Structure 1
Amino acid sequence: MKFSKVMKVRVILFLSFFLAINAFAQAPASKGKITGKVTDAGTKQGVDYATISVYKQGATSPFNGISTDPKGYFTVDQVPAGEYKITADFLGYQRATIEHVIVKAGGTLNLGEILLTSLSKELKGVTITAQAPTVTNKIDKMVYNPQNDLSAQGGVAIDILKKVPQITVDIDGNVELQGNANIRFLINGKPSSIFGASLADALASIPASQIKSIEVITSPGAKYDAAGTGGIVNIILKDSRVEGVNGSVNLSAGTRRENGSFNLNVRKGNFGVNAFFSGNAQINSNAPTSTNRVSTDGAGNTNTLFQDGTNNFRRNGYQSGLNFTWNISKHDDLTAAVGFDHFGNHGNGITNQDQRMVNAAGGLLADTASIRNSNSKFSGRSTDFSLSYKKTFEKEGQELDVLYSSSFGNNSFSSFQQTDYTSPTGVQSTGISNTNPGKDRETQISVDYTQPVAKDFTIETGAKLDFNNIKNNVITDSLSGGTTFVPNSDQTYGFTYDRKIYAYYLSLTASVFNNFLDIKGGLRDEYTVTKADFQNANIPNYNILVPSLVFSHKLSESASVKLSYTRRIERPDYGSLNPFLNISDPHNISTGNPNLKPERGDNFELGYNKSFEKGANINIAAFYRKNTDDIQRFTTYYDTLRINGATYTNVSLSQRYNLGSEIREGINIYASLPVTKSFNLRTNMIFSNRTSNNPGSPSVSGFAYRLNLNAQYEFAKNLSAEFFGNYNSSQKGIQGTQPKFVFYNFAMRKMFMNKKASIGLTASNPFAKYVSQTSTTYGSNFNLTNVRYVPVQSFGISLSYKFGKLDFKKDKDNKGEGEGKSDDGPADKGR
């Protein structure tokens, strides 16, 4: 007897829970602690963010590690009784080593002051490489570090996201987190209007060379915005905190994409400046496509619409910005940033169309042939500004954060299509042309406060205002008499959309049962006020409470288990709410729905993480997600459709609805294995089942999986190669099936000039010019099949150069928190 796909997922989930709970029960009861302080031997000041590594005596690899706090103190908990070696490291200092450290069960060993001696006051022309782990698992997020990602060199953010655990990316750049596409994207912990205009274009405009890390937050705490039922993805851009003048230049060229970036960092004493510019372009590519739709009308006639054509597409964009940091005193930091972003795309194509109607007996009633020419352009510009102030206090962990950020976007979209009929002859041409300029402004003001009440108990609280205002105009002309475009008042309109969100949260963090269990729980309240002058639309205000709870237990120094729950919401955006009918393609019309309610998601996750002595790592996350008032697109077929006095035939009308509920259950497995000192394997696998329950319709269930493999080999000290392969299975939805997706690439990198310069080669899908994508959509009276040939084959070369000098001297009298941090230091907090 064979298991169903749903049963397979549930068995996997059950086994994951059983193994984690079993490991939980077997945790050792009594362990010791190691404490101490790392101090600069010259200035006698504490060294913040120094790395403490714990080795079993005689071992060559550490089994645990921790960073010092801003004053140089550290505590390593849950250390089994035994003999150890302790090391302390920081960039620009000689390593300090303490041998034969004896830890007793239940005891606390204080190492006192560990002195670090500076290598030199100033290092000129020296490159110090600190290699961070590719994936770091934390209590509330997973961090992906792409610094050793060879196949993404010369690429963009989308190329890196394909490798990030728990994330899937389809061939069009659409991103899902644990199978959910409703993701809140941030840059350096802050929102940007660049994402609101076109997410796929925005992610394709950020060069991979500019990204320091990507944070994946599947169960955000109360401090984070509630938006995004799938979770949060925070893209951290490079921002060196090392004193001195340094920077980098990256250039790449290829058969499909070209980009370049420049990064400059200047820091002296308590003041630092970072400037960057990056630009990229996707070279024009041609994508053949065909669509075949078969439908029946009330009279029993069968209508067939066949469309076959090609589309040329190109894309370009740039990002630039300035960041200023000022450590006013050892307790007061001020940070300001301004960024300028642009991206755009241009597409044009020609489609041959044939529309036939036959009666029930098979007799031909009509046969219409036509050629449709289309053209579209999009341009988006945004300016982002932020000012933040952080105050720390004498009490460790007590701090106040104030942030003001504002993003201004100017977007313009234009499109044109004209249909000329070849059979029967004499039929007048039809067409439509429109321009769509718009402005988007988002402003956020937040205040966050953290108060340690006791050693193992901390309270966090804060409030936030989020104001979003959009102004949009659509000016439309229609072809009249087959020769002249004249204004079309029915398709010309403008609107103002204004949304205000008022939020407050309270969060508690505690360690209980003698540090056996760490708990973090919170509650966030968000009240949303939306006003829009859409025709015949009245959007209600609503208040939503968002709870979150995380339990974490350290099974050993190298293993931990986590159980979390969080509620998330997905507010319908202005595009989903706008009732305007888009008829740029008269046979495929789309519109919004002003009656949409916010989608709510309740997410449960059980995670297990284990690190091994020789560097291997495994992370297993089993998840269960239920969305209510699930927002999905639904397509309805019409023989004829009247819009503002005009009649359209053979039309598929797409609109978003709150369609009941959706349940997704599955498991994500990430593993990293250093096979040898030179050969490393990484894999990420997602298996999940999605069930949609829609009132009045049978439930639809679809199983999907994603598999990838990353293999990296070091041929010599400065030469390495990489292979990356990815497979996304097809998945059944409420009205059809999404296509599978196969992607693979090869890469090599040679470093020289003492690792300050490198040259890389990449090849993506080198053995096939196109990837074929077949999708289906069906309803009670129609069936549609779409086939696309997407160009993915590419070959490229990239160059990188790092320059400047580094000064690791610490300020004796007035040291701020950010001073002396390397590029791998802590990132800005996301909200």
Structure 2
Amino acid sequence: MRYLLTVLFLITLSNTLFAQTNPGKGKISGTVIDATTKEPIDFATVTIFKTGTKTVVNGISSNAQGNFTVSGLANGVYKVAVDFIGYKEKIFDPVTISATSSNIHLGTTLLVSTVDQLQSVTVTAKTPIIENKIDKTVYNTANDLTAQNGVALDVLKKVPMVSVDIDGNVELQGSGSVRFLINGKPSSIFGASLADALQSIPASQIKSVEVITSPGAKYDASGTGGIINIVLKDNKFQGMNGSVNVSAGTRLENGSVNLNVKKGNFGVGVFFSGNKQFNTVTKSSLDRLSYNNTRDTINRFFQDGSNPTKRGSYQTGINLNWSITPKDEVTATFGYNHFNNNGSGVTNQNQQYLLASSGLLLSNIQSTRNSVSNFNANSTDISLAYKKSFKKGGHELDFLYNSSFGNNTVRTSQTSAYLNGNYPTTGLQSSNPGKENETELSVNYTLPVSKKLTIESGVKMNIDDLNNNVVTDTLTTNGSYINNANQTYGFNYKRNVYSAYLSASFSLFKDFITGKTGLRYERTGKVADFSGAEIAGYNTFAPSFTLQHKLDDSQSIKLSYTYRIERPDYGDLNPFYNISDPHNMSTGNPLLKPEIGNNFELGYSKNFKNGANIYFAGYFRRNTDDMQQLTTYYDVLTINDIDYSAVSLTQRFNLGTQTSIGASLFASVPITKKLNLRTNIQAGNRDNVSPGLASVSAFAYRTNLNASYELRNNLLAEVFGNYNSSQKNLRSTRPSVFNYSIAIRKQFLNKNASIGLTGVNPFNRNLTQRQTSFGPNFDQTSLRFVPVRSFGLTLSYKFGKLQFKKDSKEDNGPQLPDVGGGK
């Protein structure tokens, strides 16, 4: 009730303030119709001038019936201009409002078309691949050929300052703490599995990717690396239009359909997309040497196996847009997402005990482990936004409601059959259904104080509610399963974040410097009922600023600072032991504190007359209470009175500080009219200082090259290569990875249709990934052979016309606020 009263109060206050700027009682009304068709013209522009001057007093647009009324006019003499695109302007001058004549009706205004008939409009515009804005970098995917039959991860590989490894882990400027959004809003689809979620979004559905390395006060403070916002395709043009995309390949199939209809002040858009990854077999091996406390015996543990996996997903949704009046917009969206990941595997295991002094074999236990996992996730996203625009341009009040309801189920089983030693067959099976509901309510207000100063403020409430139940059964010697009470549990986790911000956009010294600055406050409260989780709430004050100076019309520099945090998630906190692989376990740490990041960035951009452009950014980031993952080896690990031998346990801890210094470079150069080269280069050094652990200084880099060539009219070819170097972590080394792709596309039917061919790593069937881990009493090497070769065929078709009829508004239409007051 308090929030409802607050919203009603703000609406009343905004309307009162608006009314106070128009104290007069005069009124001018009329009707606008087409002189030829006699049909009313909606959204015709009616502008009131002080007669004899160019000063605009007031204005409005006609409604669907062609009617208009301008009220709140003081006594005086005015000039009235009635205009619309494609028609001759109609002038009424003078129009006098006085005490005795305060209600002026202009009657029916006939607008005459400036052309006999507008058959069609063809708009040709080439969107730049990269757009550098004061607060973000935008990567537009329209001409991305090599990702045309891929997924979101394939697109992200090309985005400046972003790197993606073979497992779908994403880093932004070398940081894995990244906040992901879809169309500026959070979704519970990312909470279940980020890598699976990014592989469920077809590249054909992505319009652009926004990289925000220094988010302002308007954005939620979560994510020390920054924010990546995936913007899906839409269309706000008048009329009916749509597109169909179909991709078939040796490893992946994609398909999507979009349909948009807009008539006057109401628009509807629907879409459906889906993809399927065929059965993919990854072979892997692990070799671990460990020592007991006295180091007189050696334990050698070896695993060798294969893991077939399959993925599938689909998404559908509808969005509605209604321009109630020229200054009141309502937007509603509904989306449903589903993806599944099914895997199985057979692993041969060999556990040997040897004397360290002589290498004498004391025991040799051989076994075969069979495992099955089935993961299903569903997410329903609902949002409702209202935007109130006032007389002054940029003066707005926004309300946003957004909810995401996620349901996911994980079913796993594993059995180990021993080949020697007369050990009985062991096994577990578990079912893990869970729900995650995330709701946000936000109010944002923008006030342009002057041409050089704009104030923004907002409040937000975010509620994240998750519950989980795990039922585990143990295999008995007679082949039946009984409940395992030590591995059966349930918990509820709730996190509320209340936030408020105040920011200002300004221009100083005759536009010598433009910038944004602000302060955000967040109150994080946590409630969890799992054992050992004494989680207290905490306050966060997050300042930020960005300063930009234009050296000339083609180049600029900017300096930014932002304070960020990384909140530990429920999976990081939950102390339950995951023993799906009894020799490689993981658990959470309920004592984790949020990681704090202080980020600085210096950027330079330059556009050249021939169409070339470059962007260079240097960054410095210092994290305290840095959250790092550590693996510890145990000869014997006792969990709930059960002993497990030769166990590697992985857990996250707050480990001192991490300092990162690096730079990134993007360049796009048209070598000739037909040949264009693009490159992304990123390099940096990361220092980890952790009490009780050896300090680590690690240099890493990432580079890629994209070459596109127009073979002939409407026939384009592209080659893309990407390399990520290896990097040392506290107790492990991340492997390097290289991948490449080639593509060709032919457009026809006046560029409304196209056919494309894509090859990914065509000359390499597998990528070999070698990773090392180590600790005080163990050394481990793992090898994976990941299948990467694929070929694909893509067909796309656009239909419908883009009509500019009876709509004076910008055809991009109203947009939802990026993230409202927060997350």
Q: TM-score if structure 1 supplies the norm length? A: 0.84
| Correspondence 1:611-760 to 2 at 5 A | 611-760=607-756
2:116 & 2:337 partners in 1: Cα distance? 40
Shift in Å, 1:145: 0.4
Q: For residue 376 of structure 2, what is the aligned residue in structure 1?
A: 379
**Which one of 155, 159, 165 corresponds to residue 164 of structure 1?**
159
Q: For residue 311 of structure 2, what is the aligned residue in structure 1?
A: 315
Q: Name the CA shift for 1:536/1:234 in 2 (closer, same or farther; >3 Å).
A: same
Aligned residues: 719
1:342 & 1:639 partners in 2: Cα distance? 41
Q: For residue 174 of structure 2, what is the aligned residue in structure 1?
A: 179
| Correspondence 1:295-334 to 2 at 5 A | 295-299=290-294, 300-334=296-330
Q: For residue 82 of structure 2, what is the aligned residue in structure 1?
A: none
2:197 is the alignment partner of 1:202:
yes
Check the 8 A contact 1:354/1:369 in 2, yes or no: yes
1:367 & 1:577 partners in 2: Cα distance? 37
Letter in 1 for 2:401: Y
Shift in Å, 1:536: 2.4
2:495 & 2:137 partners in 1: Cα distance? 31
Check the 8 A contact 2:348/2:369 in 1, yes or no: yes
2:138 & 2:639 partners in 1: Cα distance? 50
2:402 is the alignment partner of 1:405:
yes
| Correspondence 1:552-591 to 2 at 5 A | 552-591=548-587
Q: For residue 475 of structure 1, what is the aligned residue in structure 2?
A: 471
2:394 & 2:401 partners in 1: Cα distance? 22
Shift in Å, 1:246: 0.4
Q: For residue 788 of structure 1, what is the aligned residue in structure 2?
A: 784
The SS at the match of 2:419 is strand
Q: For residue 266 of structure 2, what is the aligned residue in structure 1?
A: 271
Q: For residue 259 of structure 1, what is the aligned residue in structure 2?
A: 254
Check the 8 A contact 2:237/2:802 in 1, yes or no: yes
2:141 is the alignment partner of 1:141:
no
1:250 & 1:191 partners in 2: Cα distance? 26
Superposed CA deviations along residues 574-616 of structure 1, whole A, max 9, x for unmatched, are 0000000111100011000111000111000000000001100
Runs of 5+ unmatched residues, structure 2: 1-33, 36-40, 47-58, 62-84, 88-112
2:782 is the alignment partner of 1:820:
no
Check the 8 A contact 2:739/2:761 in 1, yes or no: yes
Superposed CA deviations along residues 415-472 of structure 1, whole A, max 9, x for unmatched, are 1111101122x21011111110001100000000011112101111000000000010
Check the 8 A contact 1:810/1:820 in 2, yes or no: no
Q: For residue 31 of structure 1, what is the aligned residue in structure 2?
A: none
Check the 8 A contact 2:210/2:230 in 1, yes or no: yes
2:792 is the alignment partner of 1:802:
no
Q: TM-score if structure 2 supplies the norm length? A: 0.85
1:207 & 1:594 partners in 2: Cα distance? 36
Greater Cα radius of gyration, structure 1 or 2:
2
Check the 8 A contact 2:385/2:816 in 1, yes or no: no
1:263 & 1:675 partners in 2: Cα distance? 35
Check the 8 A contact 1:123/1:807 in 2, yes or no: no
Q: For residue 830 of structure 1, what is the aligned residue in structure 2?
A: 819
The SS at the match of 1:582 is coil
Shift in Å, 1:395: 1.2
1:597 & 1:632 partners in 2: Cα distance? 12
Q: For residue 215 of structure 2, what is the aligned residue in structure 1?
A: 220
Check the 8 A contact 1:633/1:654 in 2, yes or no: yes
Letter in 2 for 1:254: G
**Which one of 242, 258, 283 corresponds to residue 247 of structure 1?**
242
Q: Name the CA shift for 1:120/1:564 in 2 (closer, same or farther; >3 Å).
A: farther
The SS at the match of 1:152 is coil
The SS at the match of 2:218 is coil
Q: Name the CA shift for 1:484/1:123 in 2 (closer, same or farther; >3 Å).
A: farther
Q: For residue 423 of structure 1, what is the aligned residue in structure 2?
A: 420
Check the 8 A contact 2:331/2:816 in 1, yes or no: no
Letter in 1 for 2:391: E
The SS at the match of 1:540 is coil
The SS at the match of 2:260 is strand
1:767 & 1:611 partners in 2: Cα distance? 37
2:460 is the alignment partner of 1:464:
yes
Q: For residue 589 of structure 2, what is the aligned residue in structure 1?
A: 593
1:310 & 1:127 partners in 2: Cα distance? 54
Shift in Å, 1:122: 5.5
Shift in Å, 1:121: 6.2
Q: For residue 541 of structure 1, what is the aligned residue in structure 2?
A: 537
2:816 & 2:116 partners in 1: Cα distance? 27
Shift in Å, 1:119: 8.5
Q: For residue 193 of structure 1, what is the aligned residue in structure 2?
A: 188
1:129 & 1:320 partners in 2: Cα distance? 29
2:116 & 2:485 partners in 1: Cα distance? 73
Identity across matched positions, percent: 56
Runs of 5+ unmatched residues, structure 1: 1-40, 48-69, 73-91, 95-116
Letter in 1 for 2:431: T
Check the 8 A contact 2:398/2:817 in 1, yes or no: no
Shift in Å, 1:298: 1.9
Check the 8 A contact 1:121/1:808 in 2, yes or no: no
Of 800-809 and 526-535, deviating more is 800-809
Superposed CA deviations along residues 673-697 of structure 1, whole A, max 9, x for unmatched, are 0011111000000001111110122
2:812 & 2:371 partners in 1: Cα distance? 52
2:453 & 2:199 partners in 1: Cα distance? 43
Check the 8 A contact 1:123/1:806 in 2, yes or no: no
The SS at the match of 1:666 is strand
| Correspondence 1:21-100 to 2 at 5 A | none
2:359 & 2:502 partners in 1: Cα distance? 69
1:305 & 1:785 partners in 2: Cα distance? 11
2:609 & 2:372 partners in 1: Cα distance? 58
2:366 is the alignment partner of 1:369:
yes
Q: For residue 84 of structure 1, what is the aligned residue in structure 2?
A: none
Letter in 2 for 1:784: Q
2:115 & 2:778 partners in 1: Cα distance? 74
1:176 & 1:202 partners in 2: Cα distance? 16
1:689 & 1:707 partners in 2: Cα distance? 15
Shift in Å, 1:745: 0.2
- Extract structure 1 runs of 4+ deviating beyond 4 A: 41-47, 117-124, 825-828
Superposed CA deviations along residues 343-364 of structure 1, whole A, max 9, x for unmatched, are 1100101001110010122211
Shift in Å, 1:521: 0.7
Check the 8 A contact 1:133/1:145 in 2, yes or no: yes
| Correspondence 1:432-581 to 2 at 5 A | 432-481=428-477, 483-581=479-577
RMSD in angstroms over aligned alpha carbons? Answer: 2.0
Superposed CA deviations along residues 49-68 of structure 1, whole A, max 9, x for unmatched, are xxxxxxxxxxxxxxxxxxxx
Shift in Å, 1:45: 6.1
Letter in 2 for 1:768: N
Letter in 1 for 2:236: R
Q: For residue 234 of structure 1, what is the aligned residue in structure 2?
A: 229
Shift in Å, 1:93: 8.8
1:206 & 1:581 partners in 2: Cα distance? 31
Q: Name the CA shift for 1:826/1:783 in 2 (closer, same or farther; >3 Å).
A: same
